[in-house]
Structure 1
Amino acid sequence: MAERLATWVWVGASALALVAGMVNVVGYLGFEHQAITHLTGTTTLLGAALAEGRGTAAWQLAGMVLAFVGGAALGGLLIQDSVLRLGRRYGVALAIEAALLAGAVPLFQKGLFAGPLLAAGAIGLQNAMATTYSGAVVRTSHVSGMFTDLGIMVGHALRGLPVARRRLWLCLVIISSFLGGGVLGALAFGHWQYAALYLPAALTGATGLGYAVYRHRQVVAGTIAP
């Protein structure tokens, strides 16, 4: 039987998918309809811009890609592992992500391209934090893989094959949270414009603080090493 996913993994994945949904929709609604949290569309637009000779657009799109990769590189530097482990210092990474998102707000408001770059870096950092846990792939900044896995499991069910229920529920939780973040972010953007990014920044900071407290308690209890 597969290992049960820890509660902190469920809560963290849901919260961070919610954050990604909010950040992505604010970027889409407010900055030239440019998605922030995934690179498939950005790379496609980059290819089109290069083919059409639109130099400014190409540089901006390339900058988004590099900012995301830079954030992921920072995540790799901080976490130093692709497997989720309770002892890792995710609180530090989440604090940096919250600062990047909050710092992006005034830049967005001034119409500076540094705003979306900071937001892309923040989500790249977030995505690098969450990769696998107990054999289950955990991605919180985009849902293409989640929908793919969901479709595979539906196909398995139709053939009468066993379905990995833990994986199924994880997909549904992340997809639902990302969608919910999109709805919440769109509503917040309608009221506060770019200041809506303070909401995911606060949620990220709260998640990091909650993780730090939980980790400290586990250290005190002797469950994990300090």
Structure 2
Amino acid sequence: MLREIPGQRSLKKNLMLASSTASVAGMTNVVGVMAFLSFVSNITGHVATLAGKITEQNMAEVYTVAYWLFMFFFGAFISNFIVRSFDYKSTYFAHGMPIILEIVILLGVAVYGNDVYNGSEFQREAATGAVLFCMGLQNGLVSRISGGLIKTSHLTGMVTDLASELSELVHPHAEKTRALREKIYIRLTVIGFFIGGGILGGLLFNMIGMATFFVIPLVLITILLYDVYPVILHRMLKSFK
């Protein structure tokens, strides 16, 4: 799932990447709202909020929203920097490092949320920034791996692209290519699994609260293991021969 690079990826691998990471994004976003009262992937909304707070001259809120936007940006920046730095060594290692970092930070948020978090404004803003950083890491990585085809938390662009591609599909003068249909499948997968992940995240939060942040990294771990498991199995079988 993580090994293949743009231009060499099958539809199956793209759908698996889209479904798994979109479900993580959906879960994280809903749990972030319920836990910290703020969206953790809605960059468009945060930019609009920033503009509104600047107009109101509410500088405390301006600094907070600017910090959130920077954390998402910085996460995407770090993700790409890691991939560029280690891609020569191993594609899997380079693509896996941002996921590992995301897992570590989300586990840190889980521990913090369960043992330290008391609902104060500072803690809420800091925790939201940490989760936004994770979403930036993931979105930047998935976008790079898929050649810009998949953006798991950018649903505004996804819905826009889906509408355009469906328009092409039904237009009498447009060519119905396989590439067009595959794009539509991927868009629908991202949107569907984002919604499904959000529903699951909401249900889990109602049952176990902040401990839901311990569950989200499990999905990310399966993404890592999907690629490494066949290699380990092959080596084990080889050793028995």
TM tier relative to shorter chain: 0.7 to 0.9
Q: Identify which of 66, 74, 79 aligns with 1:75.
A: 79
Deviation of the 1:105 alpha carbon? 2.3
User: Does the 8 A contact of 1:97 with 1:125 survive in 2?
Assistant: yes
User: Does the 8 A contact of 2:99 with 2:220 survive in 1?
Assistant: yes
**Counterpart for residue 42 of structure 1:** 46
Q: Identify which of 12, 33, 46 aligns with 1:7.
A: 12
What is the alpha-carbon distance in structure 1 between the residues aligned to residue 91 and residue 126 of structure 2?
A: 33
Q: Identify which of 211, 214, 229 aligns with 1:195.
A: 211
TM-score (norm 2): 0.79
- Residue 107 (str. 1) matches residue 112 (str. 2): yes
The residue type equivalent to 1:168 in the other structure is I
What is the alpha-carbon distance in structure 2 between the residues aligned to residue 131 and residue 22 of structure 1?
A: 19
Aligned pair in 2 of structure 1 residues 185, 138: CA closer, same or farther (>3 Å)?
A: same
What is the alpha-carbon distance in structure 2 between the residues aligned to residue 125 and residue 3 of structure 1?
A: 22
What is the alpha-carbon distance in structure 1 between the residues aligned to residue 227 and residue 216 of structure 2?
A: 16
State the secondary structure of the residue aligned to 2:154: coil
**Counterpart for residue 31 of structure 2:** 26
**Counterpart for residue 223 of structure 1:** none
What is the alpha-carbon distance in structure 2 between the residues aligned to residue 207 and residue 174 of structure 1?
A: 16
Greater percentage in helix: 2
Larger Rg: 2
TM-score (norm 1): 0.84
**Counterpart for residue 224 of structure 1:** none
Q: How does 1:144-223 map to 2 (within 5 A)?
A: 144-160=156-172, 161-163=174-176, 164-214=180-230, 216=231
The alignment of Structure 1 onto Structure 2 pairs a total of residues equal to 214
> Where does the alignment leave 5 or more consecutive residues of structure 1 unmatched?
221-226
Q: Identify which of 53, 59, 63 aligns with 2:57.
A: 53
User: Does the 8 A contact of 2:166 with 2:184 survive in 1?
Assistant: no
User: Does the 8 A contact of 1:20 with 1:142 survive in 2?
Assistant: no
**Counterpart for residue 96 of structure 1:** 101
> Where does the alignment leave 5 or more consecutive residues of structure 2 unmatched?
1-6, 236-241
Deviation of the 1:144 alpha carbon? 1.5
What is the alpha-carbon distance in structure 2 between the residues aligned to residue 136 and residue 147 of structure 1?
A: 15
State the secondary structure of the residue aligned to 2:91: coil
Deviation of the 1:193 alpha carbon? 1.9
